[in-house]
Amino acid sequence: MLSLIYSVKPWLVAVGLNTILLGVSWIAPKKLLTPAGYLNAWLLGVLIWGTLGWQGYAVVMFYFLVGSFVTRIGMAQKEAEGIAENRSGVRGPENVWGSALTGALCVLGTIVVDIFFPSSHSLIPSPYCLLLLGYVASFSTKLSDTCASEVGKAYGKRTFLITTLQPVARGTEGAVSLEGTLAGVVASIAIAMMGWGLGLIDLLGVVCCILAAFIATNIESVIGATLQSRYNWLTNEVVNIVNTLIGAIAAMLIALIWTVAIA
């Protein structure tokens, strides 16, 4: 009976906390999400707190708050140039899952590992730890992409198409800038260090997250420059899912290769 209570308690806390936050956000004058966006964020928040506790929740909240803030940098200028996010940066459900679907899949993976392969925790590196790394790396990648894009659009002095290095206008799909690239690297470091401080990953994981975020963000720019305009289904949200998936997989592969190399 006690074990059942302890297993249910995190989910009760998750439901209660996220319901309170949903209510406060719903009546707050400054909106960060659409009504449907808030409901989807509630579901995501319950899943993450119920599975990874406040530590995992802190990572996604850090991404959401910093990402929302960065999106609003230079908003008037970006809107005047026609390169601002839709709805002046207010996020909808498509944005929630475009950013967090990969992280949510990693969280669900930890549940599966705990239920069906509990003995696998003794493996080095364990599937559970790799999934935690993928979780942190997915948000490290997404915040890196968001900061690189939004800071580049607001402050990029010279922007180049990543595939040709030819100068292009700010906001062009696939464009990169020194200012945006540096902002993206700093953002990936911030979330990676946070994941380490919260005990979700180790120092090797920090390095893996930073490298994976840099790789994935640049691949995302290549996709934007070459494929996104050709296929209507390749929306920004789909590209975000691909971006975070590449980041999570790259981080896990780097960790595995390093572990095997030094074994």
pLDDT digits (tens, 9 = 90+) for 143-189: 999 999 999 888 888 888 998 889 888 878 888 999 999 999 999 99
Tell whether 77 is covered by a domain. yes
Domain containing 250 equals 54-262
Within a domain: residue 88? yes
56-66 residues labelled b (16+ CB within 10 A) or e (exposed): bbbbbebbbeb
At residue 4, the pLDDT reads: 37
- Prior bond to 93 cis, omega within 30? no
80 inside domain? yes
- Mean pLDDT over 198-205 rounds to 95
> Which pTM was predicted?
0.91
Q: Is 32 domain-assigned? A: no
Which percentage of the chain shows pLDDT scores above 90? 57
Assess if residue 28 is contained within a domain: no
Please count the structural domains in the chain.
1
Instruction: Look at residue 7 in the predicted model and tell me its pLDDT.
Output: 65
CA distances (Å), origin 258, targets 167, 182, 207, 212: 37, 26, 11, 14
Can you tell me the distance from the alpha carbon of 59 to that of 54, in angstroms, rounded to the nearest whole number? Answer: 9
Is 31 domain-assigned? no
